[in-house]
Structure 1
Amino acid sequence: MTVAHAAEDGLRFPDSLVFRGYAAPVRIEGDVYDLEVIGRIPEGLNGAYVRASADHAYPPLHGKDIFLNGDGMIHLLRFENGHADLKTRYVQTEKLKRERAARRALFGHYRNPFTDDPSVAGVDSNTANTSVLWHGGRLFALKEAALPMQLDPRTLETLGPWNFNGKLTGRTFTAHPKIDPKTGELIAFSYNTSGQASKEIDLHWISPDGELVRQETFEAPYPSMVHDCLVSPNYIAFTICPMLCDWERVKRGEPYFVWDPSLPVMVAVIPRKEGVKGIRWFRSPIIGMETHTINAWEDGSVLHLDHFFTRSGWLSQFPHASDPDAHELPPFAERWSVDLASADDSVSIERLNEQVGEMPVIDPRYLGQKTRRFFFGTANPALGPMLDWGPKGPPFTCLCRADLETGELDYYYAGPDSSPEEPLFVPKSADAPENDGWLICVVGRRAENRTDVVILDACDLAAGPVATIRLPCRIHEGFHGTWLPPQAVGL
């Protein structure tokens, strides 16, 4: 659909996978008080679950788009003494404000300024749609292509972009920073900080009260997507994969990233105290892409890096550089280990189990330590049929808890035509044992075009929800979320 056709036909989204069925834009901002609850919300679970989603506010400028390019819609589910209230708000980015004023899309393909309407040349295209961060008493909506957007945690009012009082000198900030649970320090990074393809990566050390206290830069082997990182007590690690940003392609209007498996996968390990001057590079024996990280931990001189990894790129979003018929392969949980006492640059790889999966979480109190269990989205055909491929890949039908000591897999099956998203772990108490907590998870009821939120006992997923919170409508599929303590939302 061209812009002219969009004007003639009115506001109409394309009939394509990204904009059809359960994936269709929702675009609703509002409040629902005292949601229907089946079962009982656990006593003492007071605070808020908040998550980000990509919900296109307007049909795409060039008639097609990818899931990742939707406008940031934040969903906040507030829990108070057994009651649950829902609040949904768009992040009021400069992009959204310009498009609402024009009543049509003005920005083009994902992160490609050469495809934008000339009227917004040089305007910030941040969509703030990937993740949320609570740190230093502030709530942020994050998109790795832009600065954090600060939000009011009680109202979700957009307060504006945040550059840490001018100390963040670039234009980008990761959607996957890590909070050290022992020190309260936030480790973060930025890539393509000018908005263009670059090999430079900025590394940030942020104090528990939110002050950017240290920033250093290192250079990757090539300008790639750097979506996540791993942090242990003494090290920061990056897996550099060949999801390449080729600026000449971008200038031609082609996708911002392409998958180029001719390039090696490299692992950077940076000492937290010494910084980038102590960086070491390790070479992976396989080519593929890290999707999301699980955890990192140290065993003597050996650094273990647990993450989900696929032997292909994210081809549902970005093309192969030379093979248009290439297919995306599923990710598996793997442990990549490097020996920092050895001069060898090799990486040893162990698959943690044979269960396809993604969107992993751990008990956040144990980040950087050896953990026994982790949780992730997956499918188990023995429990129910697989669902059709969605705009961001195959939908999950289950959540799984993997026990790394026994190999046991414990599943929650969401039911026919139902798709759980990334879970969120909330400890039952500050001093509860590891993994003794609640899993909160959005579940898409696709046949009903509606959404539930379930609360599961993390120690027994197979028992099913202790509470199901029925939303009266659908909210858009999301990416990542976090937990807000009671005081953040006025409790």
Structure 2
Amino acid sequence: MALDYPTADALTDTVTPRDPSHWPDTPVFRGYASPVRLEGEVRDLEVVGTIPAALDGAYIRNSADHAHPPMYENDLFLNGDGMLHKVRIKDGKADLSTRYVQTEKLKVERAARRALFGAYRNMFTDDPSVAGKDRSTANTSVVFHGGTLLALKEAARPMRIDPDTLATLGGYDFDGRLKSETFTAHPKIDPRTGEMVAFGYFTTGTADTAVELYYIDASGELTRTERFDAPYPSMIHDCLLSENYVIFTICPMVCDWERVKRGEAFFHWDDRLPTMVGVVPRRPGGARDVRWFKAPNPVMETHTFNAWEEGDRLNLEHFITQTGWLSQFPDINNPQAQEKPPFAQRWTIDLGAGADEISIAPMWGHIGEMPMIDLRFATQRTRHFWFGTNNPALGPMLPRGAKGPPFTCLGHFDAVTEQLDFFYAGPHSSPEEPIFVPRTPDAVEGDGWLMTIVGRRDENRTDLVILDAQALSDGPVAIIKFPCRVHEGFHGMWVPGSALKG
């Protein structure tokens, strides 16, 4: 399925300052993608249908919502300030809260009443008055682990958040044990042990090949840090976790520090470099024994489902695209290249063989992104997969925006029946990342609810939709209607009511 994704050719130019008194007239700041910037609460949201009585908890997700007009005309949506959206669900009722993450960047710019930090991750484009200050936007995802809620951005350390009020409690370094300047937005939690495995790249704030691994026990204590070197200085956005390994896909989305110093885009796509898979044993000292496997072609892993082992065979399930994120970063070899959509693939590595070969097989035929599984079964083979997608047979695709063409559907793939099922959000409507919530703590895999934010673009408004996770085409069980729009987001999660005070 061919899609018309935008290119990032304008980003190859050295950035030049702009008049900061107004917003740029670009797709990032226009129409439904425009900043919202609204902090507040709305109690007793309107509900169409019935919220399942057993649902007790909070849907919390992160977004990039610029608080001030940017310093540069071609600023990316990735550069927005972290804004948290929370829907507290209990007793069939729902309340909405929205609140910025109070980063040092946000505080300094609010005091100045204008943007002072420049292009995405590029300190050389900042106003001199903020030299040495923390540039984190804390805008990508959230994780709840060991009783602590963290807002995450892979270019910085975590920010600790009160899960009840969304108040920012400050930067978080795991009681001084985190020495790196960076921490992934996609840590993985082993449901068998409760251990969280995370990592950081560009750990000193500049481009290098060092990757640090962090092992955090079920109580939230960072117990071990290990280090290895990637083949080249690449964006490492996600990872995979199996029972015995941590797996990294190193893609040719490269950072060249000399280009960054010139004010150019922080990353660029260079498909002259190979895509490499690093397999790190999870045992103590395992980073010393990292093994590298070369993919057949230079491709990019966008986000991951799961990894699992069958004897010596290691299976990696993730979304793969044949280009980089060209809607955000340029292709230096072909500036006019069009970004291609991701497809789900299973990569299999025979760890017992002497060769570095990777076997690749498609998982299904529809495009997709924002993967989700029943996380209680992570690190073992799973049956159920959910994802954002389009299905022209159900309704027309929407015009592309700042992030490329928006989804119109959520998809569910059953690996046993090999059947696809779809929820179509409706004309002018776009669902975002699906979040799975089990019906009960001990429910069988995939028995539960799927939640997604849905943008009602023609109404300039947002809903939270609840679906039966295995019956998407039956339509919503409940639609929780927001009276306003919240900004398009990235990643979220469900925090159970037992972890909340109210």
Q: TM-score, normalised by structure 2?
A: 0.96
How far apart are 1:323 and its partner, in Å? 1.6
Distance 1:45 1:97 in 2: 36
- Identify the match of residue 358 of structure 1 among 369, 378, 398: 369
> In structure 2, what is the Cα distance between the partners aligned to 1:5 and 1:295?
45
Note if 1:310 corresponds to 2:321. Answer: yes
Structure 1 residues 238-272: Cα deviation after superposition (integer angstroms, max 9, x where no partner)? 00000001000000000110000000000001111
2:3 corresponds to which residue? none
Higher mean C-alpha deviation, range 124-133 or range 272-281: 272-281
Answer yes or no: is 1:140 the counterpart of 2:150: yes
Distance 2:307 2:405 in 1: 27
- Percent pairwise identity: 62
CA contact (8 A) 1:154 1:488 kept: no
Equivalent position to 1:293, from 281, 299, 304 = 304
Separation of aligned partners in 2, 1:236 and 1:293: 12
CA deviation profile, 1:435-490 (whole Å, cap 9, x unmatched)? 00100100000011100110000010000000000000000000000111113321
The size of the alignment, in residue pairs, is 487
Q: Which of 433, 445, 449 is the equivalent residue of 1:434?
A: 445
Q: Distance in 1 between matches of 2:126 and 2:498?
A: 41
CA contact (8 A) 1:50 1:482 kept: yes
Instruction: Give, in whole Å, the separation in 2 of the partners of 1:322 and 1:273.
Output: 40
Pick aligned residue for 1:83 from 72, 76, 93: 93
Would you say 1:400 and 2:411 are equivalent positions? yes
Match in the other structure for 1:151: 161
Aligned-pair CA distance for 1:123 = 0.8
1:98 match: secondary structure = helix
Determine the structure 1 residue equivalent to 2:397: 386
Give the aligned partner of residue 70 of structure 1.
Answer: 80
Letter in 1 for 2:377: Y
Query: Are residues 1:160 and 2:174 paired?
Result: no
- Matched to 1:475, the amino acid is V
Answer yes or no: is 1:319 the counterpart of 2:319. Answer: no
Query: 1:61-111: CA deviations, max 9, x gaps?
Result: 122311100000000100011000000000000000000000000000000
Q: Which residue of 1 aligns with 2:463?
A: 452
The residue type paired with residue 287 of structure 1 is: P
Given that 1:259 and 1:318 are in contact with CA atoms closer than 8 Å, whether structure 2 keeps it comes out as yes
C-alpha separation between the residues in 2 aligned to 1:489 and 1:23? 32
Q: Does 1:170 align with 2:184?
A: no
Deviation per residue, 1:374-402 (Å, 9 max, x gap): 00000000000011111112100000001
- The structure 2 residue matched to 1:250, chosen from 254, 260, 264, is 260
1:34 pairs with 2:48 = no
State the shift of 1:143 in Å: 0.1
1:270 maps to 280
Q: What TM-score, normalized by structure 1, do the two folds share?
A: 0.98
**C-alpha distance in 1 between matches for 2:18 and 2:407:** 38
Structure 1 residues 4 and 432, CA gap change in structure 2 (3 angstroms): closer
Residue identity in the other structure for 2:173: N
Question: RMSD value over aligned CA atoms?
Answer: 1.1
Partner of 1:118: 128
One-letter amino acid of the structure 2 residue matched with residue 321 of structure 1: I
Asked whether the equivalents of residues 47 and 78 of structure 1 are also in contact (C-alpha less than 8 Å), the reply is yes
Structure 2 Cα separation of the partners of residues 40 and 5 of structure 1: 49
User: SS of 1:249's equivalent?
Assistant: helix
Which structure exhibits the higher relative contact order, with contacts defined as CA atoms closer than 8 Å and separated by 6 or more residues? Answer: 2
Map 1:200-239; keep pairs closer than 5 Å: 200-239=210-249
For residue 3 of structure 1, report the CA deviation from its aligned partner: 6.1
2:490 and 2:358 map into 1 onto residues whose CA distance is 29
SS at structure 2 position matched to 1:5: coil
Once residues 469 and 333 of structure 2 are traced to their aligned partners in structure 1, the CA distance between those partners, rounded to angstroms, is 44
Q: Does the Cα contact within 8 Å between 1:457 and 1:466 map onto a contact in 2?
A: yes
Q: Is the 8 A contact 2:18 2:71 kept in 1?
A: no
Separation in structure 2 between the aligned mates of residue 405 and residue 40 of structure 1, nearest angstrom: 30
Partner of 2:5: none
Q: Distance in 2 between matches of 1:4 and 1:252?
A: 17
User: What's the CA shift for 1:4?
Assistant: 7.0
Structure 1 residues 435 and 4: CA distance shift in structure 2, 3 A: closer
Which residues of structure 2 form unaligned runs of 5+?
1-14
**CA distance, structure 1, for counterparts of residue 154 and residue 212 of structure 2:** 12
Deviation at 1:350, TM superposition (A): 0.3
| Equivalent residue, structure 1, for 2:19 | 5
How far, CA to CA, are the matches of 2:249 and 2:48 in structure 1?
42
**Paired residue for 2:423?**
412
Whole-angstrom distance in 1 between the partners of 2:466 and 2:171: 33
SS at 1:448 equivalent? coil
Work out the CA distance in 2 between the residues paired with 1:322 and 1:431: 51
Correspondence for 2:196 among 175, 186, 198: 186
SS in 2 for 1:442: strand
The reply on whether 1:461 has 2:472 as its aligned counterpart is yes
Distance in 2, matches of 1:54 and 1:295, equals 26
The residue number in structure 2 matching 1:483 is 494
Q: CA deviation at 1:278?
A: 2.1
Contact 2:18 2:73 survives alignment (8 Å): no
Question: 1:44 matched to which residue of 2?
Answer: 54
Query: What's 2:118 paired with?
Result: 108
* CA positional deviation for 1:2: 7.5
Instruction: List per-residue Cα deviations over 1:171-191 (Å, max 9, x = no partner).
Output: 000000000001000000000
CA distance in 2 between counterparts of 1:207 and 1:299 reads 26
Q: What is the CA–CA distance in structure 2 between the aligned matches of 1:418 and 1:317, rounded to whole Å?
A: 23
Q: Per the alignment, do residues 4 and 384 of structure 1 end up closer, same or farther by CA in structure 2, a change over 3 Å counting?
A: closer
- Cα distance in 1 for residues equivalent to 2:375 and 2:18: 49
Counterpart-to-counterpart distance in 1, 2:137 and 2:191: 29
Residue of structure 1 equivalent to 2:484: 473
Read off the aligned partner of 2:188 and give its amino acid letter.
K
Match of 1:334 in 2: 345
SS in 2 for 1:410: strand
Matched, 1:130 2:140: yes
Q: Which amino acid aligns with 1:211?
A: E
Question: 1:387, 1:395 within 8 Å by CA — same for their partners in 2?
Answer: yes
In the aligned structure 1, how far is the partner of 2:87 from the partner of 2:500? 10
Give the counterpart letter for 1:68 in structure 2. Answer: L
